[in-house]
């Protein structure tokens, strides 16, 4: 079989994963003061910056007087030590309301650089703020969060369904272990 350049290119393109270009369906009526506090990671898509996190992953959000939100991510590593990263979140300013945030964990002096801020989109939020689903438009990162270390199966299934409806590969989700 002889492959022409055009047929080879077409063959290669069909082998590449298709990026979902649809906008994310964001949660309605996100009250950031109710969203504040500690969230337990129930599951996540694997990512490089959490490779060392073996268990007990939490994120704590604290509103500041200037409108920003302090973010403290914490996890236990395999050797039992704690890893903590402090950052800041702000509204994305793209007309999507409080469900569209940007986060930065780099030093403040770098905040003017565009690639320092990461997209943080709340795509699912329980009416009682008991659980949340957070992702980003490229669908590379996804977290299912709960106010408690354990999440009822029906709530988890609902959160996974929201992620799947938004084009995330939920088959790759990894559940997070909590020791308490």
pLDDT band at 14 (very low <50, low <70, confident <90, very high): very low
The predicted model scores a pTM of: 0.86
Q: Are 107 and 150 in contact (CB under 8 A)?
A: no
pLDDT per residue over 128-157, tens digit each? 999 999 999 999 999 999 999 999 999 999
Q: What CATH number is attached to the domain comprising 142?
A: 2.40.128.20
Domain for residue 11, yes or no? no
Domain for residue 101, yes or no? yes
Domain for residue 29, yes or no? yes
Residue % of the chain over a pLDDT of 90: 77
The pLDDT assigned to 95 comes to 73
pLDDT band at 19 (very low <50, low <70, confident <90, very high): low
Dist CA 125 CA 56 (whole Å): 21
Average per-residue pLDDT for the chain = 88
* CA nearest to 62, candidates 89, 83, 41: 89
Q: How many domains does the chain have?
A: 1
pLDDT band at 112 (very low <50, low <70, confident <90, very high): confident
Dist CA 57 CA 78 (whole Å): 12
Dist CA 90 CA 146 (whole Å): 21
pLDDT per residue over 79-91, tens digit each? 999 999 999 999 9
Dist CA 84 CA 40 (whole Å): 14
Domain for residue 16, yes or no? no
* CA nearest to 63, candidates 83, 91, 40: 91
Residue 54 belongs to what domain range? 22-175
Domain for residue 32, yes or no? yes
pLDDT at 111 over 60: yes
* Alpha helices by DSSP H, the chain: 5-15, 32-35, 153-165
């Amino acid at each position: 079989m002889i492959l022409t350049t055009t047929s080879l290119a077409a063959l290669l393109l069909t082998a590449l994963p298709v990026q979902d270009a649809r906008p994310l369906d964001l949660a309605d009526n996100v009250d950031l003061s109710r969203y504040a506090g500690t969230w337990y990671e129930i599951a996540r898509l694997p990512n490089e910056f959490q490779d060392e996190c073996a268990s007990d992953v939490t994120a704590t959000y604290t509103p500041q007087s200037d409108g920003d939100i302090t973010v403290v991510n914490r996890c236990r590593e395999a050797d039992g030590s704690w890893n903590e990263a402090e950052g800041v979140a702000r509204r994305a300013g793209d007309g999507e309301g409080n469900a569209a945030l940007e986060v930065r964990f780099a030093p403040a002096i770098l905040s003017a650089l565009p690639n320092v801020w990461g997209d943080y989109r709340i795509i699912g939020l329980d009416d009682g703020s008991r659980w949340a689903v957070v992702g980003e438009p490229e669908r590379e990162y996804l977290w299912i969060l709960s106010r408690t270390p354990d999440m009822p199966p029906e709530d988890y299934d609902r959160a996974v369904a929201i992620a799947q409806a938004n084009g995330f590969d939920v088959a790759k989700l990894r559940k997070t272990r909590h020791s308490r």
